[in-house]
Amino acid sequence: MQPRPMKGIGRSGSRASVAGVLASIVALTLLAALMLAACGGGSGATVTPSATHAATIPAFTPTTTTQSTTVANGEEHPAMLRANLERTGVYPSGGPTRRPKLLWTFKTTSVAWMELISSPVVADGVAYVGSQDCRLYAVDIQSGQQKWEFKTGDCVGSPGVSRGVVYVGSYDGSLYALRAKSGREEWEFQTGAAITSSPAVSDGVVYVGSEDGALYALDAASGEKRWEFHTDAEISSSPAVSDGVVYVGSNDDHLYALDAQSGRQRWEYEASGPVSTEAAVAGDVVYFGTWDNLGTSAAYDPSGHHLYAVDIRSGQEKWQFDTHGVVTSPAVAGALAYVGSDDGYLYAVDVGTGKQKWRFFADRGYFGVQSSPVLSGGVVYFGSGAPNRALHALDAATGRELWAFPSGGAVDSSPAISDGVIYFTDLAYGPEYGSDSPLVRGRLYAVK
C-alpha cells in the first residue's frame, strides 16, 4: 500500500467543505514547495553516500542478523514487497511472539513533511526504504546506519531486490536499477506518469505498473522494454508473478492475468471499484481487495468494499467478503486470508468459504487499518494509526493479541521480517497532522 491521502483531502466521491478545500490547496502548495526544495527541483538522479542521516540507537546490542537472497542451488530468491513474488505476505523466518525490544531507528534529516513513506524491503543485510524527500535509503541492519542514498526527482516507493540490483520506482515516472552495494545507477526507464507500484523481478524480467495506465515488462539487465500492456486507468497496484502469469490490478476496476513472456491477456475480472492493492496468489486462487463503489461510474460508499477470491485459471469469482471499508493487500497462509479495513478491524477470512473466522479491532483512526498484514511462524503482524499508533502481533489462528509495540506515528506500512527482526516505518505525527503534540518525523524501526 502506498501513503494515504493528506488529512483534509478527500478521496474520489467524498464531500469536502469550501474551507477544507482551500486549506488543502494551501497545504498542497506548501508541500509541493517543500518537496521541490528537498528534491533539488528536478529529476536528475545522483548517488550521494552520506553519514549525515544518522540512526537513533538505544543501549541495546542487536543480534547478528543477515538475510540471504541466495538459496542452496545457487539461484537467487528475490526480495520483494509483501515477502515474495506471489505477494502473500508470508515470511519464512519467525518473528517475535513476545513484545520486542527496539534495536534501532533511522530517520532522514529532511524538512517537515518529508518522511519515509514506503514499506521496507530487506536483502543481504540491508534494509531499503523510500522517502518523500525523493530518496531511496540503504540502511545497514546491524547498526541502523545509512550505507548510501539515491536521489530521484520525486517521492520514492518500495523497491524490489534481485541478483545484487535494487529496482525502484519514483513519482517522477522513472524506474531505476541500482547496484545494491553502492547505489550506483545501472539504468533508468521512463514511463508516462508517476510510478507508485513496487516492481516484481522474475526470470530476468522486471514488471512494474505506472499511473500512465500501463504495465511494463523490462529486461532486468539492460532496462530494455520487452512488452507493455495498457489498461483504462492508473496502475498503482504492484504486480504479483506466479507460474508464468502476472497478476495486476488497475484503477479501471479490473484485475488482469497476463502471460509473463508475451504480455498477452489470459483473462480479466471486473470488480465494483479500483483495484489499487496488491493481489496475493496462493494455490489456485488469487485474492485482492477493492475500493468498491469508488470507481468511474459510482460515488463513494463506505459500506461496500470487498475482499475477492478468483480462480487463477478461469478468472471466475469464488467468493467475496464485505469488510465495510477500504481493504489492504491481503496476506494468505493455510486456510485463512487476512485483510485490514477502513472500519478499524483486521479480519481473518476462511479461504474456502469466504466467511469471517475472527476479527480484531485496532483503531478507527483517520482511515482505519491501512497497514497490509504479514505472517510468520503462526503470527500476523500489522500496524495501526491514531490513537494507538503501534505495531501489533496477533495469534494467526485465534486473533488474540500477543503484543503491541508503540511508535511515534501511524504505522501504515507493511512490515518486513528477516531472521526474527521486524522492520517497519511510521508516518510523521504532530501539529501538521491534527495533533497538539510536537512534530515526530517518520522513521524506520528494527525490533526484536
Containing 22, the helix (H) or strand (E) segment is helix 18-39
Predicted local distance difference test score (pLDDT) of residue 40: 63
Q: Strand pairing partners for 311?
A: 285
Residue-wise pLDDT tens digits, 56-100:
333 322 222 334 344 433 345 789 999 999 999 999 978 999 999
For residue 321, give the H/E element and its range.
strand 317-322
Domains, in order of start, for the chain? 18-447 (2.130.10.10)
Instruction: Calculate the CA dihedral of residues 184, 188, 193, 199 and round it to 10 degrees.
Output: -70
- How far apart (Å, rounded) are the C-alpha atoms in residues 13 and 113? 26
- Identify whether the C-beta of residue 167 lies closer than 8 Å to the C-beta of residue 175: yes
Tell me how far apart the alpha carbons of residues 370 and 291 are, in angstroms, rounded to a whole number: 13
What is the value of pTM for the model shown? 0.86
Give per-10-residue mean pLDDT for the chain (448 aa): 33 31 39 55 42 34 35 60 98 92 86 74 97 94 97 96 98 98 98 98 98 98 98 98 98 97 98 94 96 51 77 98 87 97 94 98 81 97 89 98 92 95 85 56 91
Q: Does residue 146 contact residue 110 with C-beta atoms inside 8 Å?
A: no
pLDDT computed for residue 93 by the predictor? 77
394-410 as b/e: b if 16+ CB within 10 A? bebeebeebebbebbbb
Q: pLDDT for 156-182, tens place per residue?
A: 999 999 999 999 999 999 999 999 999
Grid coordinates of 44: 536528475
